[in-house]
Amino acid sequence: MKGHRCNLIPIFLAVLAGGFSLPKWCQMSSCAAEGRAKAAVSLRLRTAPWQWTEEWPFRDLQVRVSSEDPQWPASRIIDGDTSEPAGLWQTERNNPREATVELILREPRKIDNVRIYHQQNPRYYRSLDYTISVRVGNEWREVAAVRDNRQSGWRDHPFLPLLTDRVRVHITRSEYGYRMGLNEIELHFVGEPRGGSFSRRSAPHYCGRPVDLGLIEWEATTPPGTAVRLRTRTAPDAGGRPGRWSAWSPYYPHRGARIVSPRGAWIQYEARFDSQNEQLPCLRFVRLGAPQTVHDLTVNAYLLRPGEEVSLAVLFDRPMDTRSRLLAHLEFSGPSRRSLRLRGRWEEGGRRWRAEPVRIPPGETATEVFLSARGARTREGVVMWPYRQRLLLSKAALVEYLRDLCAWMMAHPSPAIFIEGYNERTILGAYEILGEERYLEHAKRWAEHLLASQKKKGYWGTGYQDVYFADTGSALGLLINLYKHLGEADRQRVITALRRYFHLLLEEGDTQGRSFLHEDGSLGVGFYTDREGNVTGDIWGSYTISTALTGAGIASAMYYLVGEEKFKTMALGALRWIFSTMRADGQIPYIIDDWNPGRKDQTYLWERWPYDTSAYVGEGVIAAWTYIDDPAARREIEQSIKPHIEWLLRTQNPDGSWAKPGSGDQLRSHGVVNLLLWYYHHVQADEPIANALRKYYLCLLDPQRARPLRVKQNAIATALVGRAVVETIRPGTDCRRWKEEAK
């Protein structure tokens, strides 16, 4: 919830009746609040470092909605954020007739007002018609009905006090009917203060016999004039319950302070909320115990192999006591349960522990190995929380993942040629890796369909009306990859189809006879078409993605297949134009001709999708470098792309993905993995790239962390993930100089 009312009691979110799953770092901690099953706690666990984390403590509400777009989840309705678009909940973009939000209280409370924050920007689907109802006993009572709402920002809906455990907002009309949504909902509980001070206590938590009590850390939103302070107390165990409590500690002066209460089997904290106005602070999470000290792990390879030497380092988020001893092991999975002790030294004043190189035993049959690290202390003397990280010793897990992806793709074909093009490239890649003929036959069948669906004019429909040369480039990549598996007659059919396509682009041009290849090397967008696929207009201006996928990617492949210099010139010109748009920080902007009404013939930068752009630009870079065997051109490409590679490494998410979680940009971001793999194997095998790749596939293979990626839920994400997995298993599968291999 947003505004002063919502923050009286910070909120726990349970979305779409699916419940709430703590993140992995919280699941591993001691999170049971009432100390159940104490007798089962072993002596080893009782004396080990402990940790207790609560997210959104003192929570009172859950939220359910009828529909949500993963990019705009229901949790945002009560998250305290009124910014746009970051604070919005929105339904799927499927022209809904209605949408429902339901707030569920943990226990009945009296309320007398429901406040709604309506979007300032009407394009974010501001609600126009809606009703508000509260459940009293077993009956729903309507307390407000709004028609043709034009008010933005906060809007109050007061009524006589009612005792309720559920509140419902039912939306029947919004601006632009593609979606519905809200920014924030806030309930006013009768009798709650508008300002001043009040306190909330946590449930007692059983922590056993810890070596020490560790640190207290928290995160809070504190509007101007507000503050949150925390203190603790402890108690001995008395038959499974807290004994006599100690006195309260002083309020801790800052987050990350060492807990000063006496050591005890039970601990409790109290939060004090202070406000000089009607705004109140919101406590987001509280963590007590051993600190999360390990920040990252670096390894000299993204996939480990038996017989190879491994060099690794553990990075800490705070200075550690260099006199303390880090106990680190490599623990192998499988029947042998082998373990290798690591020896190392502290560096950078305790911020890094570097292990001495160790060789993976030759003939090791385990498919994965875990790094475990524990025992070191912070400079304040607090024991670190034990760290455990998975590493792959073979490609078996990735191969099984690929098989699963291919099965899903074959069962869920897409009418969009760019999606199905990537699907079939993944399936063809599976054939080249696994040798199973069914994959090759599947790819050939779709290639036959693609060839047959080319229009007389030379273009292909996208599967959703208008023609985009970007989408076409993605799909034609299958014909390029399949070419080596075709007989001579089918090879000629492919070349004929590609020549017709390039004749349209370079010579016949748009509806005004202008070549789609511009003098600066960029390529145009495509055509407007009617529902039957007939051209009704053109989109001539420059487009980064078509320039990369068709201008650089397919043109360079044509140069490799037929050896005509004009295709080499086109491909290199396309890349030079793209590189000329790169910003000082290495980001490549998304440039597209703007065909919105009132802005015809203008060009603008669409900054929302930088990783989408990177994925597709990378595809063009890889193709041009691979298919144009020119040392000078290759050096130019390598030098030009380097700032962008550095930008990708700097901006990777901590979980190993790229882009905002769940966003449209993230759905298309996976191609950056292909670009990094190419750079690692052909330009510079840097350890930071190896670690970025390792983080990515570990995220992908972890069902919990991979949820925002929406693999096997969203066709676009799945298609691009497939190509990344193929290349991770066998680099060069999707783009290589196969003629030389044949010789």
440 pLDDT above the threshold of 70: yes
pLDDT at 294 over 60: yes
Tell me 72's DSSP state: B
Name the amino acid, one letter, at 539.
I
Is 61-189 a domain of CATH 3.40.190.10?
no
Helix (H, G, I), strand (E, B), or coil: what is residue 404? helix
pLDDT value, residue 194: 61
The domains of the chain are located at 31-58+202-289, 61-189, 294-394, 397-736
How far apart (Å, rounded) are the C-alpha atoms in residues 721 and 670? Answer: 6
- Judge whether 45 and 290 are in contact, CB under 8 Å: no
- Judged against a pLDDT cut of 70, whether residue 18 lies above it is answered with no
Residues 6+ apart with CB under 8 A from 251: 229, 230, 231, 272
The hierarchical CATH code for the domain 294-394 is: 2.60.40.1930
Q: Report the pLDDT value the prediction gives residue 186, as an integer from 0 to 100.
A: 87
For residue 368, give the H/E element and its range.
strand 368-374
* Overall fold of domain 397-736: Glycosyltransferase (1.50.10)
pLDDT tens across 236-291, in order?
Answer: 999 999 999 999 999 999 999 999 999 999 999 999 989 887 667 778 899 999 99
Report which of 253, 207, 255 is spatially closest to residue 233, judged by C-alpha positions: 207
SS3 205: strand
- What does each C-alpha distance from 146 to 12, 132, 156, 171, 179 come to in angstroms? 28, 9, 11, 10, 18
Of the ranges 58-62, 225-229, 549-553, 589-593, which one carries the lowest mean pLDDT score? 58-62
- Cβ neighbors of 207 (< 8 A, separation 6 or more) are 30, 50, 52, 213, 264, 265, 266, 267, 289
Q: Give the Å distances, CA to CA, from 391 to 23, 333, 395, 609.
A: 20, 10, 11, 31
Question: What stretch of H or E contains 165?
Answer: strand 153-174
Q: Rounded distance, CA 396 to CA 741, Å?
A: 26
List pLDDT tens digits, range 643-662.
Answer: 999 999 999 999 999 998 88
Distances (CA, A) of 428 to 491, 676, 715: 17, 21, 17
**What is the rounded distance in angstroms from the CA atom of residue 424 to the CA atom of residue 569?**
29
Phi, psi (rounded to 5 degrees) for 428: -65, -40
Give 78's DSSP letter: G
Strand-pair category, 535-542 with 196-201: unpaired
Q: What is the distance between the alpha carbons of residues 278 and 226, in angstroms, rounded to a whole number?
A: 9
What's the token pair of residue 652?
Answer: 């990777």
Beta strands in 598-653 (DSSP E): 602-606
Q: What is the reported pLDDT for 534?
A: 80
Cβ 163 vs Cβ 107: under 8 Å: no
Lowest mean pLDDT among 142-146, 290-294, 440-444: 290-294
Q: Where are the beta strands (DSSP E) in 196-351?
A: 196-201, 205-206, 215-221, 226-235, 257-258, 266-275, 282-289, 294-299, 309-310, 312-316, 327-332, 339-342, 344-347
| pLDDT exceeds 60 at position 173 | yes
Question: Which pLDDT band holds residue 48 (cuts at 50, 70, 90)?
Answer: low
DSSP string, 464-519: SSSEEHHHHHHHHHHHHHHGGGS-HHHHHHHHHHHHHHHHIIIII-STTS--SB-T
Torsion of CA 693, 697, 702, 708, to 10 degrees: 80
pLDDT digit string (tens) for 497-546?
A: 999 999 999 999 988 999 999 999 999 999 888 777 788 888 888 999 99
Let me know: does 726 contact 430? Beta carbons within 8 Å.
yes
Secondary element (H or E) of residue 89? strand 89-90
